[in-house]
Amino acid sequence: MESVGDHVPNGLTGVKSSLEIVRERFKEDEIILYLFEAYQIKGPEDANRLLALVSSESGGTFAIISFSFVRTPLTSVNELIINKVFAIDESFQLRQECKGSITAYQFDLSTAEDGPIKYYFYPSESASYDEFVAKVISCKSSMAQSDPETVLNFRWLNDYRQIGEVKQELKKRESEYIVYKDIIIYCATWNVNNKPCCDNADALRSWLGCSERAPDIYAIGLQELDTPAKAMLNSTQVQASVAQWNERMVQSVHPDVEYEILQYHRLVGIMLTVIVRKQLRQHILHCRFKSVARGVLNTLGNKGGVAISLQLNEGYICFVNSHLAAHMGYVEERNQDYNAIVDGLRFDDGRTISDHDHIFWLGDLNYRIQEPPGQQRPGPLTDAQTYELLLQYDQLRQEMRKGKCFEGYTEGEIKFRPTYKYDPGTDNYDSSEKQRAPAYCDRVLWKGTRIEQLAYNSIMDIRQSDHKPVYAVFRVKIKTRDEIRYKRVQEEVLKAVDKRENDNQPQISVEKTVIDFGRVRFNEPCMRDFNVYNSCPLPVDFSFKEKDIHDICEKWLQVDPRKDSLMIDSARSIRIKMLADVHTIRGLLKKIRSSDNFDILILHVENGRDIFITVTGDYQPSCFGLSMETMCRTDRPLSEYSQEQIKHLMNDNSQEYCVTMPREFFLLIDYLHKQGSKLEGGFHTFESRKSLNTHFNVVRDWLDTWCDEEFPGTPQSAAQALLLLLDLPDQPLLEPFVEDLLASTSKSKAMDYIALLSPPKRNVFMHLCMFLREGIECQYYNLDQVAVTFGRILLRSSECKAWPDYKIRCSQFMRLFIESDGADVLVNRNEGAGAGARAGPRADLPA
């Protein structure tokens, strides 16, 4: 983690760092080694990407995960969308480009299944980029060093690339849904010789309207559109001219269907316009353009090429319009121009010209006829033999044969006159002084599969230029998705992926889903073990899920282990410990009141289901933790009650009681009273009241069975039992008046509240005070100690505890009732509950 350090991608600083946010997207044992901000060029805009180099401890492997995100700075993990996943396996490659200035800031990522995918980065990120690359290389080399026998584990990546998996599967089954659809492509080229566009609307119809069937796509290339000098002087004029040409072209295409301009692109005087049938538009998924400038200094752009790339359904089509170097002797320069265009032209998605299924190259290629003596001028227009003879000397064909240019391209048969050079306005070849030799400058070539040329011709009766326009018509079979079949295949693939995911879900089986502790007794820990088995062919991680109580289980339970891994075919024993003791009894009794179980644990299988484990048992009721009211409703020893019966008594809100005060309490007071001074050291301190020694359970049983025998413990254990009896119930004895009593300053005021307590509580309180007062009077107990300890127990309060003088108020209150003066008042208001104590043990209690 150190390595990421303070590196925060540009523009991504925020309250929570991007790293923290991205980290949330990953599992605990997946570590982000580096975060690098890059971008991809998608359509007209850049798309930001966050590349996370991640290592998985469980998989022992590395991967790069590319995220797209909605905004910067990132504010939440939801804004991250996984865009690509690259496993760093042996096929993984990070390829850097080093051509030209723009491409210095780009690189490709690829794996056997995917890519190469191009990423760009901002120049300011260069340093981070170097660090990123170094880390990627070190990850890759650590992969290479691993034992070739071991299969790299990239299972962890499946969580991040489900959609990618679907895509791969779909690609594999392509043949099931791919059909080939015929479309007509009309290519046209014309060197317009800087002449303005003609005025009448369908002036170009004879050039662009030559196909019988209405074409689906037109690619129209013009060269020498305006002059370079003019172009630099007046750009609005150029715009107007471009607009006019485009308008004329779209007016002059086949009249039967509606067309629109999809894209045009211009490099100085070279313009390429793609016009498509309106209906076709929705099937065109991408359209990109690019140009390569050549000409003066190889940069000015008076020569060069422009190209438009488009994706129609599943087919990629590229049109190139080029104007190559002129003049008879410049064959080599023309070849160089061609090669410069082929090498230099790369669309923004990284595609080159040759990365297309169907390529159409048109333009004024400027290749001439290597003057055969006496044959410079062709004869009659229909003289096929003459064309054939001339073409033997055609530089383009010669160079193509030599493999110097247009490798892999095809050109149809030429059955028209050389298209250059005419006296403008006529069909006559150059009559000027220069007497330029006629040539087939204007050509249309193609490369790719499933292309059939239907026509290739020039138009003689368009005369304003020194070139004649040329057109070619093609029938192309475009790879197309049959949407119905595709949907069917896609659904099948999705189903298969779901099925695989569901069927390969990690499974564990548990020996039992109900853990029954049987009889559970107060202050007697007990435990149960149960087994979990791995019942699937994969290693499985399991853990107990944290519940809304912020723990995996209730306080009275302990689970060990809380999480673990299970290898294939292995089992693990899980131990659950149950502790119904002074610390947990209050919560446990509350749970028993509202539920028929002690707890439900959630056993979670990583990437799989949850199993509920119900923990039950039969709690043997004891006096500890029960309210005075509940105890006063009992008519027999607590050991004779079942959990269900005590649950019923705990939930009983009636005002009817079997006794005036709990017999267990009365027995303890009685015993302590008789022991008098034998209670050495008086009562336990508040702090030590809950530490029980091992003999305590005999005291518990003596109380819970109403045993007739002598008290089995020491006076100290009786004192402790008394404190616990008062302290363990959910409500303190003086509830609901704790706050009022803490605030009351006089005994009489306090008595008003005491009188309102429930009879069992009131009686217990009065009896207790009487007993304590007597002990203090006899100097058996220390007044201060008793006041402090009992005050805090009887007036227990989590709210008032925060008061600065809470402890003082507690003991002051107690003093009101246990100091000798004022005793008479107390006795008068006592409804005789204490009488039993005076008259002798158990006298007023029903048996």
Partner 1 sequence: MATTPRSGGAGSGTAQRPNGTSQNKSCQFKLVLLGESAVGKSSLVLRFVKGQFHEYQESTIGAAFLTQTICIEDTVVKFEIWDTAGQERYHSLAPMYYRGAQAAIVVYDIQNQDSFQRAKTWVKELHKQASPNIVIALAGNKADLSNIRVVEFDEAKQYAEENALLFMETSAKTGMNVNDIFLAIAKKLPKNDGANNQGSSIRPNGNETNRPTNNCCK
Task: Identify residues 252-291 at the interface with partner 1 (CB under 8 A).
Answer: 260-266, 282-287, 289-291
| Residue 387, CA atoms < 13 Å, CB-side half-sphere | 14
Binding mask 74-113 for partner 1 (x = CB under 8 A): -----x-x--------xx-x-x------x-------x-x-
Q: Which of 3, 76, 96, 124 binds partner 1 (CB under 8 A)?
A: 124
Closest by CA to 370, choosing from 391, 401, 346, is 391
39 near partner 1 (CB under 8 A): yes
- Order of strands, edge to edge, in the sheet holding 61-69? 80-87, 61-69, 45-56, 30-42, 117-120, 106-110, 93-96
Q: Verify cis geometry, omega within 30 degrees of 0, for the bond prior to 424.
A: no
- Kindly state the smallest distance separating residue 206's Cβ from partner 1, in Å: 26
- Kindly state the smallest distance separating residue 444's Cβ from partner 1, in Å: 22
CB 713 within 8 A of CB 702: yes
245 near partner 1 (CB under 8 A): no
CA distances, 89 to each of 61, 153, 203, 615 (Å): 8, 10, 61, 47
Record the tokens describing residue 65, joined without a space: 């995960």
323 near partner 1 (CB under 8 A): no
Number of H helices, E strands in the chain: 23, 27
Binding mask 215-244 for partner 1 (x = CB under 8 A): ---------------------------x--
DSSP classification of residue 383 = -
152 near partner 1 (CB under 8 A): no
178 near partner 1 (CB under 8 A): no
CB 217 within 8 A of CB 274: yes
Cβ neighbours around 99 below 10 Å, total? 11
Record the tokens describing residue 224, joined without a space: 């020498």
CB nearer to partner 1: pick between 258 and 784: 258
Backbone angles phi, psi at 81, to 5 degrees: -125, 130
Rg of the chain, C-alpha, whole Å: 47
542 near partner 1 (CB under 8 A): no
CB nearer to partner 1: pick between 125 and 224: 125
Closest by CA to 650, choosing from 721, 731, 764, is 731
408 near partner 1 (CB under 8 A): no
- Kindly state the smallest distance separating residue 42's Cβ from partner 1, in Å: 3
Stretch in the footprint of partner 1 (CB under 8 A) among 35-43, 216-224, 669-677, 777-785: 35-43
Q: Verify cis geometry, omega within 30 degrees of 0, for the bond prior to 116.
A: yes
Q: Name the β-bridge partners of 96.
A: 107
Closest by CA to 760, choosing from 628, 578, 626, 605, is 628
- Kindly state the smallest distance separating residue 145's Cβ from partner 1, in Å: 12
595 near partner 1 (CB under 8 A): yes
315 near partner 1 (CB under 8 A): yes
Site residues (CB under 8 A) for partner 1, limited to 460-479: 479
Q: Which of 545, 583, 648, 801 binds partner 1 (CB under 8 A)?
A: 545
133 near partner 1 (CB under 8 A): no
251 near partner 1 (CB under 8 A): no
- Kindly state the smallest distance separating residue 358's Cβ from partner 1, in Å: 10
CB nearer to partner 1: pick between 171 and 575: 171
Beta strands of 440-521 (E only): which ranges? 442-448, 451-458, 470-481, 508-510, 514-520
- Kindly state the smallest distance separating residue 494's Cβ from partner 1, in Å: 4
CB nearer to partner 1: pick between 160 and 686: 160
115 near partner 1 (CB under 8 A): yes
CB nearer to partner 1: pick between 351 and 792: 351
Q: Which of 3, 24, 29, 42 binds partner 1 (CB under 8 A)?
A: 42
327 near partner 1 (CB under 8 A): no
399 near partner 1 (CB under 8 A): no
CB 437 within 8 A of CB 396: no
CB nearer to partner 1: pick between 200 and 612: 612
774 near partner 1 (CB under 8 A): no
Which helix or strand (DSSP H or E) is residue 588 part of? helix 585-594
Site residues (CB under 8 A) for partner 1, limited to 483-522: 483, 486-487, 490-491, 494-495, 497-499, 501-502, 505, 513
166 near partner 1 (CB under 8 A): yes
CB 283 within 8 A of CB 260: no
- In terms of residues, how long is the chain? 847
Q: Verify cis geometry, omega within 30 degrees of 0, for the bond prior to 44.
A: no
Q: Which of 99, 171, 172, 648 binds partner 1 (CB under 8 A)?
A: 171
Closest by CA to 157, choosing from 77, 62, 24, 51, is 62
CB 459 within 8 A of CB 206: yes
Q: Which of 137, 144, 240, 839 binds partner 1 (CB under 8 A)?
A: 144
Stretch in the footprint of partner 1 (CB under 8 A) among 452-460, 604-612, 741-749, 812-820: 604-612
455 near partner 1 (CB under 8 A): no
Q: Measured between alpha carbons, how far is 225 from 241 in angstroms, rounded to an integer?
A: 8
134 near partner 1 (CB under 8 A): no
Site residues (CB under 8 A) for partner 1, limited to 690-749: none
At residue 598's C-alpha, the angle toward residues 596 and 599, to 5°, is: 105
CB nearer to partner 1: pick between 114 and 704: 114
- Kindly state the smallest distance separating residue 512's Cβ from partner 1, in Å: 10
122 near partner 1 (CB under 8 A): yes
Q: Measured between alpha carbons, how far is 475 from 452 in angstroms, rounded to an integer?
A: 5
Stretch in the footprint of partner 1 (CB under 8 A) among 162-170, 468-476, 654-662, 708-716: 162-170
Cβ neighbours around 353 below 10 Å, total? 23
Q: Binders of partner 1: how many residues, by CB under 8 A?
A: 97
Record the tokens describing residue 124, joined without a space: 């300011």
DSSP classification of residue 322 = E
Site residues (CB under 8 A) for partner 1, limited to 329-348: 348
Site residues (CB under 8 A) for partner 1, limited to 607-646: 608-612, 614
CB nearer to partner 1: pick between 70 and 104: 70
Backbone angles phi, psi at 816, to 5 degrees: -55, -35
DSSP classification of residue 32 = E
